[in-house]
Structure formats: structure tokens, C-alpha cells
Amino acid sequence: MAVIAAYRRVLGNPLLSRLLVGEFVSSIGDWLYMVALLVLVYAEANDPLALGVIGAARILPYVLLSLPAGIAADRFDRRKILLVTDIARGLIMLLLAAAVIVDAPIAVIIALAIAGTCFAAFFSPAIGAFLPSLVRDESELGPANTAWSSLDNLAFFVGPAFAALLLGIGALEVAFLLNALTFAFVAVVLWQLPSARPGGSEVDASGTPAGAPAHRSAESTEPADRGSLGALARPLSALILINAAGGFVFGGLSILTVVLAVDVYGAGEAGTGLLNSAVGVGGVVGAVVAGVLVLRRRLGLHLAAGAALFGAAVAGLGLVDAFSLALVAMAVAAAGALLVEIVGTTLLQRIVPDAKRGRALGIIETVSVLAYAVGSFALPVLGAPDPTVVLIASGVAMAAAGVVTALLLGTHALQEPSIEQEKRLLAETSMFAGLPPARLEAAMRQSELISLSPGTVVIRQGDAADRFYVIVEGEVEVSQQRGDDVEPVRLRTMGRGEFFGEIGLLSGVPRTATVTALTGVRLMALERGPFLELASAGPGLTYRLLDLHRGASTISG
């Protein structure tokens, strides 16, 4: 139920939902475009070298531009960067459609494709840095990344299938026009989203500036001492390592699938297509699994598990003889790779401060793309005589990289309880058992988390009752001044999950006791109005509470 609730929260975030839908439509267009482009280039040039140029055009701009793109994402409004890249790529799609119609030279088509990839290189760091500004707290980061990857894998199916339909009727130019429309669609979505300047100047779904009580973005939870990337060298090195290892292995695997399908399993060219389809299936499964694991506390352990799963499946490809088993291994490898990707992205967004996030993403993107290119070249060459040894070695290396990454991350991979999880204590408080869930959810949204140091007086006897409190962490002492006694009488000590402050609110009298923090405490506070509204939601709850305390030997304010 906690998993379902987490994803309901993500879908209930209007800004995040709009972005996910917009980028899903755009991803369908991207896959549609890629299939159409490869068919067009090969049909026009009738030369595999031209396909090689297109392949290089997909990689080289990322190598050269990812770091500058990351710097741009840390200096300028990320939403505007995304808008510019989408509008520019949409215009390039229109030019490609025109080039098809007028039968332009192949050099023009390749040049336009390279220009589109250059703009795409600026997209990745900007979107990776922009997405965290739309979440309401860190508990939404993992589910948001999972939803993103799930939709991207779904687009992997829809886009090529749609491309096959269009190519079947010979409508290449329509494919480019449709992709232009998808860019226009996502540009409209981005236009309606709030600006996100580095440093946390985001706004929430209601237009409230970040930092106001109604909104708490992921940025607002960042420790103040996380200033420079140099201070984060160890966790960043860990994330660079796992991304480089994954890029290298998957790059080689993407080429080795042809060798495996044709030479090892004798499945022919159709077998290559089936192995790639298995990647899509595994990606969807991996996204589902990641959706559960990314909510857990020990993310380093899950990242290492994903790398081990990825590595074991790759090694298995070198050992199995049946093509059906190879399809399963490919799907498992993709599932493990996606788990690593989602957990790694979530950790990076949590660890790196907002003002530096674009550069960190640019560095990781550059390294992973380079590793992908090296793997695409090296593994097929090394595995040409017999891919078995290469696949097993690659699998072992991937699993080892996962273990090393988890060790380097250390406590950086421990996910702290989210604001939402802490506020969930309100629903678990015994006095509110059986109340309508909608009322409890509304009260949790209206509550505030506060931290107090030892010795702080939370409520003072005789003061007007204004708030109800639930203890999230730490201990408090309840005391009462009776008659002319010099020293107050200590009544009780209270800890996590216990509550106080309800008597004065329910009966309309001043505070009947003093509550002092014995240790450092975190408290969830609910103002008088929302508390009384919640208390009235249960039939007879107010009277039951008052009767309970009339018969109790202690008083809690």
C-alpha cells in the first residue's frame, strides 16, 4: 500500500504529471524519428558507411557538448533551455521533412541530423536538473524517475511500431512532421510549467514560491554544507564509475546482439530484432521492480543488486545455448541496467546540490557516452572469435563495479525518512484511528514539521492553546505547577508516536501543563483550526477524547 500511495502522490503532482506526459509523447516521436532517419539514409546512400556516420553523429555531440550543457543548466533557467532545445529540434524535423519532399542530397540530411543531436545534448542535463524542482519533497524523486523510465520504455515499443506503419505506406516525410508535432506538444507543456533557475527559485503547483510553508521541494532539504563538487568527490566518483561500467557493457552488448543472433544462435536478422525487443520488455519489468526498491532506505544495496543482476545476465548470455534462454537473459540484463539507472539518478539528484546538479549530470553523461562508444567498438572486436569469454568477463566487471560503487557511496546512499513518511505518523496516531482517509490526508498537508533543541519549552502552562503536536523523534517531559509549590510536578515522559496539546484545543481552556524537550526533538504541529476539523470528522471523537483525559491520571496540555 505504501508503494501505491507513493505513486499516487507523483501522479497527483500536477506539474510533474504534465512533464511526464509531455516527454512521453516526445519520446514516441524520437523513436519514430530514429527509425525513419536510418531507413532514409540507407535508402538514399545505399552505403553502410552512411549509417556509421549517423551512429557517430548520435554519440560525438554528447561527448563534446554534455559538459558545456551541464554548465548552461547551472547558469540559466532550465525550463527555457528545454524550451529552446525542443523548439529547435521541432524546426529541424520540419526541415528534414522538406528535404525528403524535395529529394535533397544525403549530406543535407546528415547535417540536419547532427544539428538535432547537438541540441539534444543540451536536453539531458537540463531535464535531469529540472525534474527535482517539480517534486514536493525527496520522497517523490525515486517514483518520478521510475515513472520517467517506464514511459520511456513504453515509447520504445510505440515509436518503432508507428514508424513501421508509416514506412509501410512510404510516408517518410510524415514521420518527421509527426516528430515536429511532438516537440510542439512538449514545448506547450513546458511553457505552462514554472521557471527553475539554479539555486532553488522554483514555485509549486499553486504558484507559491519555494521555501514557503505550502511547498517543500527536494532542494529545500539539502544540507547547507554541500557547496562544491570537490566536497562530493567520493560519491560522484562512485556514480561516474557505475555509469561508465554500464555504458561500456551495454554499448558492447548492443553490437554483440547481431553476432549472437546470427553466428551463435542461428536466428538470423530477425533474431537481432527479437533480442532488442527483449531489452524493451526487460526495461518495463526493471522499472516496476525499481519502483518498489527505490522507496527503500538502503539504495546502495539495491544499486549493487541491480549491477549484479545486469552482470549475471550478461555472463549468462555467454553460457546459454538456446535462443529462448538468450531472450530471457537479455530481458534480465535490461531490467538490472534500468534498476541501476533509476537508483543512480535518484541518488545523484539527492546528493548533488541544485546549483551544481547540471554540471554533475554533464560530467556523468560525457563519461557514460564515451564508455558506450568504447564498448561498442572494443567488445565486438574482442569477442569476434568467441564472445563467451568477453561476455563472462563483462558480466563479472559489471557486478564488481556495483559493489565498489556501493562501498564508495557509503552513507550517501542511505535514504532519510521523507517529510511525507514523517507526516504519516498523524494517520497512525491511535486517537485518529478509523477517521476518513481524505480528512487525514488533508490534515497531513496542513501540518508542519519543526525541530527543537534540548531544553526548549514547547508549550507553557497557562498559555492559550494554539497547536496539537505529535512526536516524530526524541523525548519530551510533561510537568505541571500545582498550587503554591515552588517546583513543578513532573508528570511523565513522552516519545515517538505520542501526542500532546489536545486538551486545551478540545475544551477551549489555557494549557494545563508545560511540555519541555528533553532531547533534540522533531514534532509535527497542526494548527487549531485543522485539528478541530479533523477531530470533528469522527462521530463522537471529541467527547471520547475528553472523557479519556478526565479519567487519566496525567495531563498533556
Q: What is the reported pLDDT for 231? A: 65
Mean pLDDT across the stretch 427-447?
Answer: 70
> Mean pLDDT over all residues of the chain?
77
Q: Are 74 and 356 in contact (CB under 8 A)?
A: yes
Mean pLDDT across the stretch 407-426?
Answer: 68
Q: What is the reported pLDDT for 168? A: 64
Q: What is the DSSP letter of 411?
A: G
Grid cell listed for 202: 522554483
Place of cell 562501498: 407
Does residue 540 have a pLDDT over 60?
no
At 223, the pLDDT band (50, 70, 90 cuts) reads very low
Q: How far apart are alpha carbons 348 and 357 in whole angstroms?
A: 8
Q: What is the reported pLDDT for 265? A: 75
Q: How far apart are alpha carbons 165 and 279 in whole angstroms?
A: 21
Give, rounded to a whole angstrom, the gap between the first and last alpha carbons of the chain. Answer: 34
Does residue 397 have a pLDDT over 90?
yes
Between residues 439 and 29, which one has the greater pLDDT?
A: 29
- Helices 299-317 + 387-409 axis angle, to 10: 180
Q: What is the 3-state secondary structure (H, E, C) of 366-383?
A: HHHHHHHHHHHHHHHHHC
**What string of DSSP letters covers 94-119?**
HHHHHHHHTT--HHHHHHHHHHHHHH
Grid cell listed for 56: 557517430
Mean pLDDT across the stretch 309-319?
Answer: 90
Q: What is the reported pLDDT for 427? A: 64
Between residues 517 and 29, which one has the greater pLDDT?
A: 517
In sequence order, what are the beta bridge partners of 521? 452
Q: What is the reported pLDDT for 91? A: 92
Give the pTM.
0.63
Report pLDDT digits (tens) over 99-136: 888 888 878 888 888 888 888 888 888 888 888 888 77
Burial of 500 (0-12, 13-18, 19+ CB in 10 A): buried
Q: Are 456 and 516 in contact (CB under 8 A)?
A: yes
In sequence order, what are the beta bridge partners of 526? 468
Report pLDDT digits (tens) over 224-276: 344 455 667 888 899 999 999 999 998 888 777 767 777 777 776 566 667 76
Burial of 225 (0-12, 13-18, 19+ CB in 10 A): exposed
Q: Which amino acid is at 318?
A: G
Does residue 391 have a pLDDT over 50?
yes
Q: What is the 3-state secondary structure (H, E, C) of 421-478?
A: HHHCHHHHCHHHCCCCHHHHHHHHHHCEEEEECCCCEEECCCCCCCEEEEEEECCEEE
**What string of DSSP letters covers 132-184?**
GGGSSSGGGHHHHHHHHHHHHHHHHHHHHHHHHHHHHTT-HHHHHHHHHHHHH
Grid cell listed for 461: 502552562
Domains of the chain: 1-139+152-197 (1.20.1250.20), 230-416 (1.20.1250.20), 434-550 (2.60.120.10)
Between residues 22 and 307, which one has the greater pLDDT?
A: 307
Of 261-270, 301-310, 420-429, least confident by mean pLDDT is 420-429
Q: What is the reported pLDDT for 476? A: 93
Q: What is the reported pLDDT for 398? A: 94
Q: How far apart are alpha carbons 234 and 412 in whole angstroms?
A: 10
Q: What is the reported pLDDT for 396? A: 94
Does residue 418 have a pLDDT over 60?
no
Place of cell 526487460: 282
- Helices 387-409 + 233-259 axis angle, to 10: 160
Report pLDDT digits (tens) over 155-165: 766 766 666 66
Mean pLDDT across the stretch 47-72?
Answer: 73
Neighbouring C-beta atoms of residue 389, cutoff 10 Å: 12
At 139, the pLDDT band (50, 70, 90 cuts) reads low
Neighbouring C-beta atoms of residue 344, cutoff 10 Å: 25
